[in-house]
Amino acid sequence: MAASSNQVGVIADYVAKHNIPVYYSLYNPPSMPFEGTTPRPINTGPSADAIPLGCRVLTWQEAHAALAELPVGRTPRFIEMVRQTSAASHSDSFDRHGWRLETFVADEVMRCREGRLFESKDDADFYTNAPRQ
């Protein structure tokens, strides 16, 4: 992902053509600031409580708005990838950097607040070669 990359235009065209929203799943370290070693030591992994940051989800509009503020070709830093509307959560200190993946799926997608509801299994957008009606 980089500012003014072809990816930005392709995703915007896709959304306009198919009316299917796109989301970015951003992989972050467990917390910020982060310090680690390479290669990473083998372990069983931290508990969910030990990962206050981790994977975050932004809408394509939010990600592209952040990229639009950067010089051409530059990749964004963590601090630059923020939600435009954030319901300040007392339990999630990184809420402004996107939904936690599990929160996005359980609270936004499963409750039909995000994503797209398809009315029929025959919807042309399900199939790449089907003509749009």
Please, what are the averages of pLDDT over each run of 10 residues along the chain (133 residues)?
Answer: 93 91 91 79 68 91 94 93 70 87 91 84 67 51
What pLDDT score was predicted for residue 127? 65
Contact 41, 73 (CB under 8 A): no
What pLDDT score was predicted for residue 132? 53
What pLDDT score was predicted for residue 14? 92
Sign of the Cα torsion 79, 65, 22, 106 reads positive
What pLDDT score was predicted for residue 115? 86
For the entire predicted model, the pTM comes to 0.78
